[in-house]
Structure 1
Amino acid sequence: MSTNGLQQNLLERIEKELGKLNLPETPISLYQPYRYAINVGGKRIRPILTLLSCGLCGGDIDEAIPAALAVEILHNFTLVHDDIMDSAETRRGEPSVYKKWDSNIAILTGDVMFADAYKQLHYYGESDKFTKQEFAAMHHIFSRSIITVCEGQALDMEFVDRTDVSDKEYLQMIGGKTAALLSGALEMGAVAAHSSHHKRAELADLGYEMGIAFQIQDDLLDATADPEKFGKRPGGDIYEGKKTYLTIRALERANDAQKEIISRTLNEVNPSDDSVKQVLDIMAQLGVLDDVAKETDEHYQKAFNLLNKFESSEYKTELEKLLNFLQNRDH
């Protein structure tokens, strides 16, 4: 995603503040991997959302910096631990923390990042600009986001060995893994702007809709996107045996013969190209691809409708641009 203007300024501010984190030099086995995990890159979407939300609500974005840092540190903590659970050897094109060091170091690094993410929120308890209730709200939103992310990850792991996952369960899972932190990032920005409970709730809902749309769209692109742009062959999730929104919806609609083809292909260690194409054809025949595309647009439209409740500003314009970019992406 290209950045310019306001978004570029916010990104540069976030990078500058991350660079100023007061991390000790020792123990080197703890803080060197922490710095590595933070500096390996990323789009910084979540902290940008926190700052945009604060500006959208008429607040001073400087007051949202600690919340934005907390969100980004937490996000990177989840990636460090996810890579261990998934045995992922790379992250953003570089060796993952557990691969560059080892699992024990990665676990401990994640633990200190988790604690340091909470430490950023101390600002709201120490500053006389924020009430006791607002400080508590920051902690409540942050804690709720973490718990929901963990619940989503647990469901995702449970689904691996289940054959009866429903579309509602899948949406609950991605609502935790993907949407929860986007929702929390936007709501925390609103708290930093001293916004009303009503506006906070609207922004939390906006983040949820954005997260759900993004993830089911990702599942759809896996099946339909240009492989040169998307970076992997069509049906990559099917080759890997992953349960996605598409395969779940297809299994719910399929007849016995179609179910057998889908289940057999997902369970094969190295499914053939013909088998994967069969599954993709079944999805198209059952209307799954068209319906999921429509559902994706409906979630994005809900996000736009929530955003339209806010007054015009450069922050609103930037959020509109971001939503438009996400909705129209092809990879």
Structure 2
Amino acid sequence: MKSTLKHQNLSELINRELADLNLPEEPGQLYEPVRYTLDLGGKRLRPYFTLISCGMCGGEVQEAVPAALAIELLHNFTLLHDDIMDAADTRRGQPSVFKKWNSSTAILSGDVMFAHSFEQLQHYGKSARYSKKQYATIMDIFLEAARTVCEGQAFDLEYAARTDVTIDEYLKMIRGKTAALISGSLMLGGAVADVDAEKLELLRRIGQQAGTAFQIQDDLLDVIADPKKFGKTPGGDIIEGKKTYLSILALQQGNKEQKTFINNVLAAQDIATEKVTEVIDLYEELGIVEKTNNAIEKHYAKSMELLDQFPESDYKTDLINYFNKLKNREF
């Protein structure tokens, strides 16, 4: 019998299952940061996508729980390591593991989360309900997502020292850093439901479009969002000198003087608040905010268009509603 769990039930299920993870008490230096990280919360959109995709594909949603936990553990593993690479003091408005403990602890705790993510997927290898081929498909999707995230992060590091990064290169980077796990989440749900390769590819494309929109939107919110809701300092990406959709577009469209100014601010070690404000004002002057909004709308619209190829169901409706919620988010 297919599960009929609805959106609220799925969110509650994810949080309950994460809280009930069978993590050892010792060594405390290893597992306390893991529990701390998971307790910080977050949108939990990746495990939600895994569960909702399974239901949309006609599978038993409860059976997708191990895959949902695996993708959320993988996501949090990447965050721990990202904070080390970025020397980030905060995560979700609280001290990062890197800041609260140290880089060695953050590396090790991230690594054990990675190991526990694979432990979750063992459910499909051990259960008689799943064929060897289906288990291999689930593992292939998960491994590809993990590898692609690393590739996206490597592109991010490579682009940091460059001033000539193009929009196409940026999109390639975020398809790895952000979209890969969203695509992987949807594909895992489909794989648990045992859909064919054509449906899995469709889920991948939906995730790529939605994930691309999600990251561009994060770039935009860094500039325009209410910091109390967003949990970050306005213009934080500018202060950190990050390559974002907005900064790259501004560098492509600004005049020589404007480009020099933006590059100098992004390269500076200690940026005055007024300089950050000037860059944001320049984004408005060049129409970058409007163009970024248009790009977000385009990618979400494409994900919806692809989603239309699935038959009507409560799960599909919930996923459409969730995409609309993401599109209108303020943090």
TM-score with structure 1 length normalisation? 0.91
Q: Which residue of 1 aligns with 2:82?
A: 82
Q: Distance in 2 between matches of 1:274 and 1:73?
A: 39
Asked whether 1:19 is paired with 2:19, we answer yes
1:63-98 deviations in whole A, cap 9, x for unaligned?
A: 101100110111111112222222223322333223
Deviation at 1:28, TM superposition (A): 2.6
Q: Which residue of 2 aligns with 1:58?
A: 58
Q: Which residue of 2 aligns with 1:287?
A: 287
Q: Which is worse superposed, 204-213 or 84-93?
A: 84-93
The letter for the 1-side match of 2:166 is S
Q: Which residue of 2 aligns with 1:157?
A: 157
Deviation at 1:144, TM superposition (A): 0.6
Pick closer, same or farther for the CA change 1:194–1:226 going to 2, 3 Å.
same
1:206-265 deviations in whole A, cap 9, x for unaligned?
A: 111111001112222333345565455654432443221111111112221221222222
Structure 1 segment 113-152 matched on structure 2, within 5 A: 113-152=113-152
Q: Which is worse superposed, 291-300 or 93-102?
A: 93-102
- Secondary structure (helix, strand or coil) at the match of 1:164 reads coil
Pick closer, same or farther for the CA change 1:208–1:26 going to 2, 3 Å.
same
CA RMSD of aligned residues (A): 2.1
Structure 1 segment 288-307 matched on structure 2, within 5 A: 288-307=288-307
- Secondary structure (helix, strand or coil) at the match of 2:6 reads helix
Q: Which residue of 1 aligns with 2:94?
A: 94
1:122-159 deviations in whole A, cap 9, x for unaligned?
A: 11111122121111111111111011111111111222
- Secondary structure (helix, strand or coil) at the match of 1:59 reads coil
The letter for the 2-side match of 1:22 is N
Q: Distance in 2 between matches of 1:95 and 1:278?
A: 29
Q: Which residue of 2 aligns with 1:217?
A: 217
Deviation at 1:49, TM superposition (A): 0.6
The letter for the 2-side match of 1:131 is S
Q: Which residue of 2 aligns with 1:199?
A: 199
Gaps of 5+ in 1: none
Q: Which residue of 2 aligns with 1:48?
A: 48
Among all aligned residue pairs of Structure 1 and Structure 2, give the percentage whose two residues are the same amino acid.
53
Deviation at 1:330, TM superposition (A): 3.3
Gaps of 5+ in 2: none
1:41-81 deviations in whole A, cap 9, x for unaligned?
A: 22211101100000001110111011001101111111122
The letter for the 1-side match of 2:91 is R
Pick closer, same or farther for the CA change 1:231–1:70 going to 2, 3 Å.
closer
Kept after mapping to 1: 8 A contact 2:227/2:234: yes
The letter for the 2-side match of 1:215 is Q
- Secondary structure (helix, strand or coil) at the match of 1:121 reads helix
The letter for the 2-side match of 1:11 is S
Kept after mapping to 1: 8 A contact 2:149/2:177: yes
Q: Distance in 1 between matches of 2:22 and 2:229?
A: 39
Deviation at 1:282, TM superposition (A): 3.6
Deviation at 1:9, TM superposition (A): 0.7
